[in-house]
Structure 1
């Protein structure tokens, strides 16, 4: 799991654009400004300072997530569609056909499409746990998608035995 997180962070850092860095800079600047305010208030009103401190760290995580999501949706819109999955009957192979369409006005230099399979739990706690840890993940990286162009991606998953699962499809384009 830690290698997955580190590869995701490296992928983002290597492909961030100007607006991504500006958005993250504003979030980090706001984080430090509220942190300084919380430290200043620590001796005058410690309970309020604790509230600011907790709000600051929560705001840092939410600010990074939502600012990057906003930048991604406004500057790099795309449409990703998955055809129904096909399980081959004569072997343990699953085939997934995915179409990625560039709906922005700019060329995508690099896109990463990730298909992950998660076990379905018996309750919501198990579903949340299984959503964090997929039992199989496959990734494809596509380069140079012009505006209005649809790229077809085919995932072939070997040693896939039918079971109770859900799929999650996600893409990041830069």
Structure 2
């Protein structure tokens, strides 16, 4: 799981654009401004300073996530369609056909499409745990998707036995 997170961070850092860096800079600047305010208020009103400090760290995580998501949806919109999964009867192989369409006005230099399979839990806490730890993940990187162009990706997952699972498909394009 840690390797997956590190790979995602490396992929983002290697492919960030100008607007991504601007968004991250604003979030970090606001974080430090609220941190200085909390430290200033620490001796005058410690409970308010503690509240600002908790709000600051929560806002840092939420701000990074939602600012990058906003930029991704407005500057680099795309459409991701997955055909129904096919399990081959003669072998333990699953085939997934995915189409990615560039609906933005700019060329996607590099896109990473990630397909992950998760167990289904008995309650919401177990579902969250399984969502964070998929039992199978496939990643495909495609390059050079023109505006309005659709590229097809075919995942072939070997040693996949039918069971009760959820499928999550996401993509990052730069």
Q: Give the TM-score, by structure 2 length.
A: 0.99
Alpha-carbon shift at residue 122 of structure 1 (Å):
1.2
Work out the CA distance in 1 between the residues paired with 2:3 and 2:38: 34
Q: Which residue of 1 aligns with 2:84?
A: 84
Q: SS where residue 122 of structure 1 aligns?
A: coil
Unaligned runs of 5+ in 1: none
Deviations 1:5-34 (A, max 9, x none): 110000000000000000000000000000
Work out the CA distance in 1 between the residues paired with 2:7 and 2:110: 15
Q: Considering only aligned residues, what root-mean-square deviation do their CA atoms show, in Å? A: 0.4
Q: SS where residue 130 of structure 2 aligns?
A: helix
What is the count of residue pairs matched by the alignment?
174
Unaligned runs of 5+ in 2: none
Deviations 1:150-172 (A, max 9, x none): 00000000000000001000000
Work out the CA distance in 1 between the residues paired with 2:60 and 2:122: 33
1:134 aligns to 2:106 (yes or no): no
Alpha-carbon shift at residue 123 of structure 1 (Å):
1.3
Work out the CA distance in 2 between the residues paired with 1:22 and 1:128: 31
Deviations 1:76-109 (A, max 9, x none): 0000000000000000000000000000000000
Alpha-carbon shift at residue 124 of structure 1 (Å):
1.3
Q: Which residue of 2 aligns with 1:49?
A: 49
